[in-house]
Structure 1
Amino acid sequence: MTLQTFQVTAFPSLCPVPLRLSCPSQKLSIMGRMHAPGKGISKSALPYKRSPPSWQKISAADVEDHVCKLAKKGLTPSQIGVILRDSNGIAQVVGVTGQKIVRILKAHGLAPEIPEDLYMLIKKAVQVRKHLEINRKDKDSKFRLILIESRIHRLARYYRTTRKLPANWKYESATASTMVA
């Protein structure tokens, strides 16, 4: 069997060396799950129609006010979305307002300084570290902490390149508990 060479044209900076694939039909997977064998294919399907349903009588200004009110209570953007969906019947904030929840919060100066997914990973790492202080021989938790922190570093690098975090921002386990508290 001969190996064929394919050049990745979508991301030449990521892969300057041509990739060798066993057959041309083999798919190039840029990114899958980091610490699990899954390919990350499953996802929820958004409705095709982007406009709000006809029975929904709430205005965009009312939704924005409600989002800001919930953010002032200290809720995260995903918690705000769940509350709006479950108790107010607003399936997609984008359909009503034309903006995502985080953009609404940024416009009103209420957006969190650390993105929510990174914040939750840091919170998880702090909890595992606290557990390891009590249970020093827990090797599995120590291994999981390494995986969590590598995800934190990868996500922080992404947010620094997209300028959602300052260029000098760095995760340090010693100061992580003050970020979360």
Structure 2
Amino acid sequence: MGRMHSRGKGISSSALPYKRTPPTWLKIAANDVEEMITKAAKKGQMPSQIGVLLRDQHGIPLVKSVTGSKILRILKDKDSKFRLILVESRIHRLARYYKRTKKLPPTWKYESTTASTLVA
């Protein structure tokens, strides 16, 4: 295939790493990386600048290998946070109903940390 904006038919392109797993020497968790990305985005940095920042200052070679998704996808992921809010509000409504009908003790309280251990 020829190039779109030039006459060349070159074959040079960037090479992605063969291994898709994070390096063994990298000790940063995926949640920490996502927090770093959102903080940098709130400062007004573009995704490419965020990648350079993570590579140079924090030693994260490839964000996708650590988090499972690219920087732009992490920044665009507002839907899952919204759905979590909807699910938690549904849980609170049901809890209010079950406390009123005496199927739950009146001292029962929903906590997201205990819920994640019950599901996992």
Normalising by structure 1, report the TM-score: 0.41
Superposed CA RMSD in Å reads 1.5
Distance 2:69 2:14 in 1: 20
Taking the TM superposition and a 5 Å limit, the aligned residue runs for 1:15-164 are 29=1, 32-108=2-78
Higher helix share: 2
Where has structure 1 moved over 3 Å in runs of 4 or more?
none
Q: Do 1:68 and 1:108's aligned partners in 2 also have CA atoms closer than 8 Å?
A: no
Deviation at 1:40, TM superposition (A): 4.5
**Paired residue type of 2:72:** V
Tell me how many residue pairs correspond in the alignment.
79
Q: Percent identity, aligned pairs only? A: 65
- Identify the structure with bigger relative contact order (alpha carbons < 8 Å, sequence gap 6+): 2
Normalising by structure 2, report the TM-score: 0.61
Distance 1:78 1:40 in 2: 25
**Paired residue type of 2:50:** I
Distance 2:17 2:29 in 1: 20
SS at match of 2:37: helix
Q: Do 1:51 and 1:96's aligned partners in 2 also have CA atoms closer than 8 Å?
A: yes
**Which blocks of at least 5 consecutive residues in structure 1 are unaligned?**
1-28, 110-181
Q: Deviations over 1:51-74 (max 9, x none)?
A: 111110000000000000000011
Deviation at 1:34, TM superposition (A): 2.3
